[in-house]
Chains A and B, each alone.
Chain A
């Protein structure tokens, strides 16, 4: 079985401050990890993904995430928050094999950016 835990359902930062959204996963097989963003009344947009290789992954809109196997973590960061980053962010995991192909999502973190 696989699961994702996102710490903090709401995170508030000031514009220009560091964004850190936490994600821990559980998987019995090597995981594939994803971060998605959802803006109001829209679908989910892929920010970045980790499959194999380099553990520091860069995505769109200045976001990046680091896969740490020893900590079973895949935290999302951005050096400087913009007002346009306000949205809900979902961490997700999938893997090989029956029952693991689909995405298992965390409960989401709503990011608020204060002016």
Chain B
């Protein structure tokens, strides 16, 4: 058990809809990362938050947004969903926000767009 909790585990929705994925980091971790895993793109970094502030952006679409709340949990919002957004979305957390610190991953949310 990594200590990172992601909900829901599975999400099935239709094109054009909006969903929210939730992540609770390990106790004591201030940084949260979101990654997308798909068959064609592999594992890609989306966005990082550190102690409530956005720290870095990766290949995140404009239709996607995220935030980190004062209790350090984070939410990833995906809107105007397309078939290609079907993927496994992972949240990871680390103590600090710098590279070199191991990131601990949740079990992911599997998003299926019908």
Partners in one complex: yes
Q: Contact: B42 with A108, CB < 8 Å? A: yes
Q: Contact: B43 with A43, CB < 8 Å? A: no
Q: Kindly supply a per-residue 1/0 record for chain B positions 37-80, scoring 1 wherever the CB is within 8 Å of any chain A CB and 0 otherwise.
A: 00000111100100000011010000000000000000000000
Count contacts on B: residues with CB < 8 A to the other chain.
25
Pair count A-B, CB < 8 A: 61
Count contacts on A: residues with CB < 8 A to the other chain.
27
Given contacts A43-B108, A44-B105, A45-B105, contact A102 B45 (CB under 8 A): yes
A44 to B15, CA, bound (A): 28
The chain B residue with its CB closest to the CB of A36 is B105
Decide yes or no whether A34 CB sits under 8 A from chain B.
yes
A104 to B48, CA, bound (A): 13
- Minimum C-beta distance from B50 to chain A (A): 9
Q: Contact: A95 with B56, CB < 8 Å? A: no
- Minimum C-beta distance from A11 to chain B (A): 17
- Minimum C-beta distance from B110 to chain A (A): 9
Which residues of the other chain, A, contact B105 by a CB distance below 8 angstroms?
A: 36, 43-45
**B residues whose Cβ falls under 8 Å from a Cβ of A:** 2, 4, 33, 35, 42-45, 48, 55-56, 58, 90, 92, 97-100, 102-108
